[in-house]
């Protein structure tokens, strides 16, 4: 591996320090939770805006809360300059890691700061987006922020309520964000695809592949499609001590069978995965047979047809379990997002930079969802993955990267930006 001394760097330590500083804005004590539009989320948003400004960018905050910093093109390019966009999300899962999403904001902002300090301008506008919401934690609305930017915002989402009954409409109206949640403002925040060269995203891999191959970086080929559901099983509450086992309509026992069905069906195909990450017996008591059980289902696969076939089988299987047990089951599809292929011409430019440094231009698919998926609906996208430590664990406080890998990723990103060639 050739580690050329760059005049712009080191940035690796800055990136890790800023990720640690940003992680202090949290909805919980002793861990990192940053849900959409909470006080911690607003503080993180303000911090990102401040860092972007300090790096030499003009900053705007849009109607959904995205923080967008622009490093203006070299004035010699004139008015016709288009935008190369990058970015990732700054919201987190509950008790998540500090690099998921945030690395893809902090790294390019640090790179811009270094370019600016060295007096280097680019022949295009370079924009870094801190996407306000990707994880779906508060309103079960994943990709909310990128859907607004990509012109795909669904106004029906405004009626979604959080766990306290606050709707997205109410949260936006109280937020002080431009447009106060009005549909027109949310629609107007969309970017004109004709103004873009494309969208690239740096992200921690969130898995063990690069770690196992002994590689610091990888180029993503495609992002697996995903479908999320909310399942409500309706049984009958009755006395835990007097109701014979044969006469029960136990919603939790039925849900347990359904969870095992998800595990069994998704275990049949290597690229297919299925997860029940939330499972509740609302208003349950230890001495009452559960009348209701609610659970989430997240089903993903590299190929849409594999995912859809699994969903069809699982939905039919859930109905069959409910029927056999004499219960009801209502299945609501929350967010379907199709597989998003990365653009070969952008992947090759990352590959060329890696090879020039004596690194493997290793390619791998992404099983995790990313803002690039939604951006791919409007423009060409590519992703650079950075090796994840601790066995590749993510969506967990143990998620980590090394300073060296952050440094190398920043150097590769600088090379990519400086050699970037628009699509012919
Ligand atoms: C986002 O982190 C997802 O893949 O769920
Ligand atoms: Mn995530
Ligand atoms: Mn992420």
- In order of their start, the domains of the chain are 12-224+339-418 (3.40.630.10), 225-337 (3.30.70.360)
Atom of ligand 1 nearest to the CA of 367: 4
Specify whether the CB–CB gap between 276 and 252 falls below 8 A: no
List, as residue ranges, the binding site for Zn(2+): 89, 100, 135, 203, 395
Measured in degrees and rounded to the nearest 5, phi and psi for residue 121 equal -105, 160
Cα separation, 345 vs 381, whole angstroms? 9
pLDDT at 387 over 80: yes
Q: How many residues does the chain have?
A: 424
Model pTM score? 0.92
Q: Would you state the torsion angle of the CA atoms of residues 98, 102, 108, 113, taken in this order, to the nearest 10 degrees?
A: -70
Exposed/middle/buried for 37, CB within 10 Å: 0-12, 13-18, 19+? Answer: buried
Determine which residue's CA is closest to atom 3 belonging to ligand 1.
369
The share of the chain scoring above pLDDT 70, in percent, equals 98
Q: Are 273 and 367 in contact (CB under 8 A)?
A: yes
Which residue, 213, 206, 25, 230, is CA-closest to 104?
A: 206
Query: Which residue ranges make up the annotated binding site for allantoate?
Result: 228, 287, 300
Distance 306 CA to ligand 1 centre (A): 19
From the CB of 337, is ligand 1 less than 6 Å away? no
Closest CA to 391 of 378, 401, 381: 401
pLDDT at site 142: 82
**Which tens digits make up the pLDDT trace of 15-72?**
999 999 999 999 999 999 999 999 999 999 999 999 999 999 999 999 999 999 999 9
| Confidence band, pLDDT 50/70/90 cuts, at residue 7 | low
5: pLDDT strictly greater than 50 = no
Distance between the two ends of the chain, CA-based, in angstroms? Answer: 31
Share of the chain above pLDDT 90, in %: 94
- How many angstroms separate the alpha carbon of residue 368 from the centre of ligand 1? 5
Look at ligand 1, atom 1, and give the residue with the nearest C-alpha. 369
Tell me the three-class secondary structure of the chain, residue by residue: CCCCCCCCCCCHHHHHHHHHHHCCCCCCCCCCCCCCCCHHHHHHHHHHHHHHHHHCCEEEECCCCCEEEEECCCHHHCCCCCEEEEEEECCCCCCCCCCCCCHHHHHHHHHHHHHHHCCCCCCCEEEEEEECCCCCCCCCCCCHHHHHHCCCCCHHHHHCECCCCCEHHHHHHCCCCCCCCCHHHHHHCCCCHHHEEEEEEEEECCCCHHHHHCCCEEEEEEECEEEEEEEEEECCCCECCCCCHHHCCCHHHHHHHHHHHHHHHHCCCCCCEEECCCEECCCCCCCECCCEEEEEEEEEECCHHHHHHHHHHHHHHHHHHHHHHCCEEEEEEEEEECCEECCHHHHHHHHHHHHHCCCCCCEEEECCCCHHHHHCCCCCEEEEEECCCHHHCCCCCCCCCCHHHHHHHHHHHHHHHHHCCCCC
Ligand 1 proximity of 369 Cβ (cutoff 6 Å): yes
Q: What are phi and psi of 283, to 5 degrees?
A: 55, 30
Question: For a substitution probing ligand 1, which of 369, 373, 385, 399 has the most ligand atoms within 8 Å of its CB?
Answer: 369
Q: Separation of 281 CA from ligand 2 center, angstroms?
A: 26
| Distance from residue 285's CA to the centre of ligand 1 (Å) | 33
| Burial grade of 282 (CB within 10 A; 0-12, 13-18, 19 or more) | exposed
Provide the pLDDT confidence category of residue 203 given band limits of 50, 70 and 90.
very high
pLDDT at residue 424 above 80? no
Would the CB of 368 count as within 6 Å of ligand 1? yes
**For residue 136, which ligand has an atom nearest its CA?**
1
pLDDT digits 0-9 by tens, 260-283: 999 999 999 998 999 999 999 999
**Integer Cα distance of 316 and 355 in angstroms:** 48
Q: Return the ligand number nearest the Cα of 226.
A: 1
The preferred substitution site among 140, 273, 388, 395 for testing ligand 1, maximizing ligand atoms within 8 Å of CB, is: 395
More confident residue, 61 or 142: 61
Asked if pLDDT for residue 79 goes beyond 90, the answer is no
CA of 226 relative to ligand 3 center, distance in Å: 14
CA distance 393 to 207: 6
């Amino acid at each position: 591996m050739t580690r050329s001394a760059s005049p712009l760097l080191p940035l690796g330590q800055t990136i890790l320090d800023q990720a640690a500083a940003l992680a202090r804005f949290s909805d919980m004590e002793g861990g990192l939770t940053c849900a959409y539009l909470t006080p911690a989320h607003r503080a993180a948003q303000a911090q990102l805006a401040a860092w972007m400004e300090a790096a030499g960018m003009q900053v705007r905050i849009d109607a959904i809360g995205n923080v967008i910093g622009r490093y203006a093109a070299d004035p010699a390019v004139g008015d016709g300059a288009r935008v190369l966009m990058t970015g990732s999300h700054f919201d987190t899962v509950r008790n998540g890691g500090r690099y998921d999403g945030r690395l893809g904001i902090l790294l390019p902002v640090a790179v811009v700061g270094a370019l600016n300090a060295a007096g280097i301008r680019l022949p295009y506008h370079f924009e870094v987006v801190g996407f306000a919401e990707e994880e779906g934690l508060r309103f079960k609305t994943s990709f909310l922020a990128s859907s607004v930017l990509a012109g795909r915002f669904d106004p029906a989402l405004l009626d979604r309520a959080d766990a306290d009954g606050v709707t997205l409409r109410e949260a936006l109206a109280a937020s002080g964000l431009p447009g106060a949640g009005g549909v027109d403002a949310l629609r107007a925040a969309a970017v004109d695809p004709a103004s873009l060269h494309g969208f690239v995203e740096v992200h921690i891999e969130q898995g063990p592949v690069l770690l196992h191959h002994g590689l610091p970086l990888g180029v993503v080929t495609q992002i697996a499609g995903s479908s999320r559901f909310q399942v409500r099983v309706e049984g009958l509450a009755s006395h835990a001590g007097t109701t014979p086992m044969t006469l029960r309509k136990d919603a939790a026992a039925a849900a347990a069978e359904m969870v095992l069905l998800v595990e069994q069906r998704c275990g049949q195909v290597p690229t297919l995965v299925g997860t029940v990450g939330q499972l509740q017996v609302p208003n349950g008591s230890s001495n009452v047979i559960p009348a209701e059980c609610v659970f989430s289902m997240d089903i993903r696969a590299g190929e849409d047809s594999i995912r859809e076939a699994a969903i069809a089988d699982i939905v039919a299987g859930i109905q069959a379990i409910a029927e056999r047990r004499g219960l009801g089951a209502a299945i609501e599809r929350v967010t379907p997002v199709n597989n998003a292929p990365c653009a070969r011409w952008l992947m090759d430019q990352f590959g060329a930079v890696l090879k020039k440094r004596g690194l493997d231009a290793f390619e791998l698919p992404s099983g995790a969802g990313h803002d690039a998926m939604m951006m791919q609906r409007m423009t060409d996208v590519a992703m650079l993955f950075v090796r994840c430590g601790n066995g590749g664990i993510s969506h967990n406080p143990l998620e980590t990267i090394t300073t060296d890998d952050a440094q190398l990723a920043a150097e590769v990103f600088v090379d990519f930006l400086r050699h970037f060639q628009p699509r012919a």
